[in-house]
Amino acid sequence: MVARGRVVTDSLGKTRRLGKRLERGGEGEIFALLDRSDVIVKWYYPEVLKKRGETLHRKVEAMRGLRDSHMTRDVCWPLIRVFDEHHRWIGFAMYRARGVKMGFLAHALLYQRYFPGLDRRQIVGYLIRFVEIVQQLHEAGVCIGDYNLNNIFCMPGSDQVTLIDCDSYQLRVDGTFYPCPVGSPDMTPKEHQGVAFRHTLRNSRSEAFSLAIVLFKCLMLGRHPYDIVGGDDPVRNLRRGHFAYGRGQRDVPQGVWYELWGELPETIRDMFVTTFTEGASAPSRRATLAQWHAALSDYRDAMTAGECAMTLTMPNRPQRAKVLHAR
Ligand SMILES: Nc1ncnc2c1ncn2[C@@H]1O[C@H](COP(=O)(O)OP(=O)(O)O)[C@@H](O)[C@H]1O
Ligand SMILES: [Mg+2]
């Protein structure tokens, strides 16, 4: 592979050698630094730089100005500007996240491979950390916007959570608004559906809705809260607030999925039901991050005290999981 240079300079004009390419994302490539295995460089694709380079550069600079110790540690925040051999800005350096994508934890088949011995208490531990990190971001006026389980890294065997892909976050710095230009409809609340993401103004209520979907997917090992009712697709169910679980609803998935649901504390089930039914079209009805944090902490305490089951009664039965998924 012929790399584009492979040598970059940092903000201080210091030359840095890139190691191998680690990933290709939607907007750029991720390289290791040759002499710092804990630091990686995001190098935007030439066509992205051509089209939106200036906007991106301004946003990343605004982000760098906002960083604090939390952001550096829990979020892979842009830390250092990076230029190519012609001194053109091409991206930034950040810390490398350790751990495994949350997408592999919220997965009925994969979690055992990537998180050996995983139990409910550990899942809840990750979720509490996740909520705390999002709360810190909100306090700094930053919204995640594009919620995606693959951008949340969890360290097996600890509670450590680290967020990546933060150059898409929504923020406001010194009166300038930087939108989150991306998203996926099945993680986006109704009020922001059908509007271009770059024109969407996320707020604490819309964030709370998307965050609740992340929580649900983890506690339910990959099920989407809106993925079954009447055979409709999740986005359609989401827009209608058709949530199949809880309070006298029909079309509830039977078997192991319902058992998983039934083992959650009533408070948490109620918060999901309210958020995903009335809350689908009434943002003020959604459980807040503070409420999630309190409920999850109580849940973890109850498990620690032996008042709630910690083991996952879960699908060692892949064929069954598949059948239910296909309904
Ligand atoms: N800070 C990081 N630590 C570890 N892996 C990362 C980090 N940033 C990106 N990656 C990896 O590179 C992939 C693409 O990066 P991302 O920033 O999501 O690109 P894009 O937004 O262009 O799609 C991610 O899915 C992840 O696997
Ligand atoms: Mg991105």
Q: What is the pLDDT of residues 162-203, one digit of tens each?
A: 999 999 999 999 999 999 999 999 999 999 999 999 999 999
Decide if 280 is inside a domain: yes
pLDDT tens, residue order, the chain (327 aa): 445 548 888 877 888 999 999 999 999 999 999 989 899 999 999 999 999 999 999 999 999 999 887 777 899 999 999 999 889 999 999 999 999 999 999 999 999 999 999 999 999 999 999 999 999 999 999 999 999 999 999 999 999 999 999 999 999 999 999 999 999 999 999 999 999 999 999 999 999 999 999 999 999 999 999 987 777 799 999 999 999 886 665 566 677 888 889 899 999 999 999 999 999 999 999 999 999 999 999 999 999 999 999 988 665 554 444 434 433
Top mutation candidate among 49, 164, 166, 184 for ligand 1, by most atoms within 8 Å of CB:
164
Give the number of domains in the chain.
Answer: 2
Q: Which residue, judged by its Cα, is nearest atom 20 of ligand 1?
A: 25
Decide if 197 is inside a domain: yes
Domain boundary residue, one of 31, 66, 95: 95
Q: State whether 286 and 182 are in the same domain.
A: yes
Q: State whether 176 and 320 are in the same domain.
A: yes
Helix, strand or coil for residue 90? strand
189-192, long-range: CB < 8 A, 24+ apart: 189/238, 189/280, 189/283, 190/238, 190/239, 190/241, 190/280, 190/281, 191/281, 191/283
Report the CATH number that the domain containing residue 251 is assigned in CATH: 1.10.510.10
Find the ligand nearest to 30 CA: 1
User: 41 alpha carbon to ligand 2 midpoint, in Å?
Assistant: 13
What are the residues whose beta carbons fall under 8 Å from the beta carbon of 91, sequence distance 6 or more? 28, 41, 42, 43, 44, 60, 82
- State both tokens at 103: 């997408």
- State both tokens at 301: 């305490």
Of 41, 29, 42, nearest in space to 1 by CA = 29
User: 37 alpha carbon to ligand 2 midpoint, in Å?
Assistant: 22
Tokens 């694709």 correspond to 45
CA distance 83 to 13: 9
Q: State whether 131 and 274 are in the same domain.
A: yes
Q: State whether 80 and 118 are in the same domain.
A: no
Q: Quote the pLDDT of residue 231.
A: 72
Domain boundary residue, one of 36, 71, 95: 95
Question: Whats the size of the chain, residue-wise?
Answer: 327
Decide if 1 is inside a domain: no
Contact between 296 and 127 (Cβ < 8 Å)? yes
Q: Is 166 in the pocket of ligand 1 (CB under 6 A)?
A: no
32: containing domain: 7-95
Report the CATH number that the domain containing residue 64 is assigned in CATH: 3.30.200.20
Decide if 2 is inside a domain: no
Domain boundary residue, one of 78, 95, 112: 95
